Amino acid sequence: MSVATIVSAPLTSSNIRSLSIISSSSFSPINSFKCSSVALKLTTTSLLRNPNLRFSVSAMSVAAQENLSQTAFLDRRETGVLHFVKYHGLGNDFIMVNNLDSMEPKVTPEQAVKLCDRNFGIGADGVIFAMPGYNGTDYTMRIFNSDGSEPEMCGNGVRCFAKFISDLNSLPGKQSFTVHTGAGLIVPEIQDDGKVKVDMGEPVLKASDVPTKIAPNKDESVVKAKIEVDGVNWNVTCVSMGNPHCVTFGTQDNENLVVDELNLAEVGPKFEHHPLFPARTNTEFVQVFSRSHLKMRVWERGAGATLACGTGACAVVVAAILEGCSERKCRVDLPGGPLEIEWREENNHVYMTGPAEVVFYGSVEL
Ligand SMILES: N[C@H](CCC[C@H](N)C(=O)O)C(=O)O
């Protein structure tokens, strides 16, 4: 069931204690939001604890009329109010912003940090901007991590981006878009089953381009190299999908990780901020179930432990093939669910297929 919750703003000093959707309509294209009988009963309570960010809702009971237009919602231009749609890809969740009228993000990195805060803000792993195309592409995608840093690319995010664009333009069914990103041209295609298949382009293996300072092999890649992290010797393979990834299947003493036993919050930041990664790094810890079935957990650069990482799953399959422990087509299980990944030999591109779903609509005073 997908729910479109319109939370009116601006109002001051209250937040939602309970939001009960008495009945809900399935999500409709934004231009012609068809709402059978969404009646929202919102009750409000105590003061919002973060005076800098007034995310507020009044007590209201709204019976949405038929044909309530989402365009009116997302196209409204109140000064200082951001209208957004929340999407997630396997629990890796994003605040999507319709930024199609400008190449300047509507939210600053500092505001993104507050919006992504799961206690004082909306809560998300990042903010994603849908912007006009560049050099002939349909669109441009930019993203701010929840720490305010700007990565080159986001795999789960670009699936959400495709669904967001499709919904903005009332494009039901199968379609694909060309998207300019920090990782170059990315082509997401919405499938008949609603999943999104993404051509993620070619992996980058040259150490200096990942980037990493780990001493490379003769072919300039880093495959099953040893690095010391806080006194433990890990075997790592480094891959860029536009953003840097350090993939490990285990340590020198234990080459077969059981990923659920990892203390991710302890070890993740030590990889992220390791001096051998000048741009920091995303780190994927991988368990091999078979040559076509892997399981991973991830500590993301700028976002910490997330439920899924699309670029990370792509880097994991590339690393697994380079280390000789998987086929070119793999299912990768992440805490938020599975992704289908393929590294095609004929064109060297990596393909990722997975879901992307709307969660709710909202407005927030910046
Ligand atoms: N935090 C990542 C960007 C988001 C990647 C991840 N969410 C994905 O789905 O690819 C970085 O700084 O490189």
Of 300, 334, 339, best ligand 1 pocket probe by most atoms within 8 Å of the beta carbon: 300
What distance in angstroms lies between residue 362's CA and the mean position of ligand 1's atoms? 23
Looking at residue 247, its pLDDT comes to: 98
Looking at residue 70, its pLDDT comes to: 53
Task: Say if ligand 1 is within 6 A of residue 363 CB.
Answer: no
**pLDDT tens-place string over residues 221-242:** 999 999 999 999 999 999 999 9
What distance in angstroms lies between residue 342's CA and the mean position of ligand 1's atoms? 19
Q: Does residue 186 surpass a pLDDT of 50?
A: yes
What distance in angstroms lies between residue 207's CA and the mean position of ligand 1's atoms? 19
Looking at residue 170, its pLDDT comes to: 86
For residues 267-295, give the mean pLDDT.
Answer: 98
Residues in Cβ contact with 346 at an 8 Å cutoff, skipping those fewer than 6 apart: none
Task: Say if ligand 1 is within 6 A of residue 92 CB.
Answer: yes
Task: Say if ligand 1 is within 6 A of residue 154 CB.
Answer: yes
| Whether complex ipTM tops 0.95 | yes
**pLDDT tens-place string over residues 72-102:** 466 666 678 999 999 999 999 999 999 999 9
160 is catalytic: no
* pTM for this prediction: 0.84
314 is catalytic: no
Q: Does residue 166 surpass a pLDDT of 90?
A: yes
Looking at residue 173, its pLDDT comes to: 82
Of 87, 90, 145, best ligand 1 pocket probe by most atoms within 8 Å of the beta carbon: 145
Distances in whole angstroms, Cα of residue 56 to Cα of each of 59, 75, 114, 209: 10, 19, 14, 44
Q: Please, are residues 233 and 227 in contact by the beta-carbon 8 Å criterion?
A: yes
Token digits of residue 13: 């000093």
Sorting pLDDT into bands at 50, 70 and 90, what band is 151? Answer: very high
For residues 208-223, give the mean pLDDT.
Answer: 98
Residue 343 CB-density burial (10 A; 0-12 exposed, 13-18 middle, 19+ buried): buried
Q: Which long-range contacts (CB under 8 A, 24 or more apart) does 270-277 make?
A: 270/229, 270/230, 271/229, 271/246, 271/299, 272/299, 272/301, 274/227, 274/229, 275/213, 276/212, 276/213, 276/214, 276/227, 277/210, 277/211, 277/212, 277/213, 277/244, 277/246
Q: Looking at ligand 1, which atom is closest to the CA of residue 149?
A: 12
Task: Say if ligand 1 is within 6 A of residue 310 CB.
Answer: yes
157 by DSSP, 3-state: which? helix
Task: Say if ligand 1 is within 6 A of residue 301 CB.
Answer: yes
What distance in angstroms lies between residue 153's CA and the mean position of ligand 1's atoms? 6
Q: Domains in the chain, please, with CATH?
A: 1-68 (no CATH), 207-354 (3.10.310.10)
**pLDDT tens-place string over residues 17-62:** 222 222 223 333 333 333 333 333 333 333 334 444 444 333 333 3
Looking at residue 52, its pLDDT comes to: 46
- Calculate the average pLDDT of the chain: 84
Looking at residue 263, its pLDDT comes to: 97
Task: Say if ligand 1 is within 6 A of residue 146 CB.
Answer: no
Task: Say if ligand 1 is within 6 A of residue 354 CB.
Answer: no
Q: Does residue 333 surpass a pLDDT of 80?
A: yes
Distances in whole angstroms, Cα of residue 179 to Cα of each of 34, 98, 138, 162: 29, 15, 6, 9
- Candidates 35, 116, 154, 160; catalytic one: 154
What distance in angstroms lies between residue 247's CA and the mean position of ligand 1's atoms? 14
Task: Say if ligand 1 is within 6 A of residue 98 CB.
Answer: no
Orientation of helix 155-168 relative to helix 310-322, angle to 10°: 140
What distance in angstroms lies between residue 223's CA and the mean position of ligand 1's atoms? 21
Task: Say if ligand 1 is within 6 A of residue 282 CB.
Answer: yes
Q: Does residue 347 surpass a pLDDT of 90?
A: yes
Q: Looking at ligand 1, which atom is closest to the CA of residue 154?
A: 10
For residues 338-361, give the mean pLDDT.
Answer: 97
Q: What DSSP string runs through 193-229?
A: TS-EEEE----B--GGGTT--SPP-TTS---SEEEEE
Q: How many CB atoms lie within 10 A of CB 233?
A: 11
Angstrom distance (rounded) from CA 298 to CA 264: 8
**Pair type for strands 139-145 and 179-181:** parallel
What distance in angstroms lies between residue 244's CA and the mean position of ligand 1's atoms? 9
- Candidates 35, 238, 246, 309; catalytic one: 309
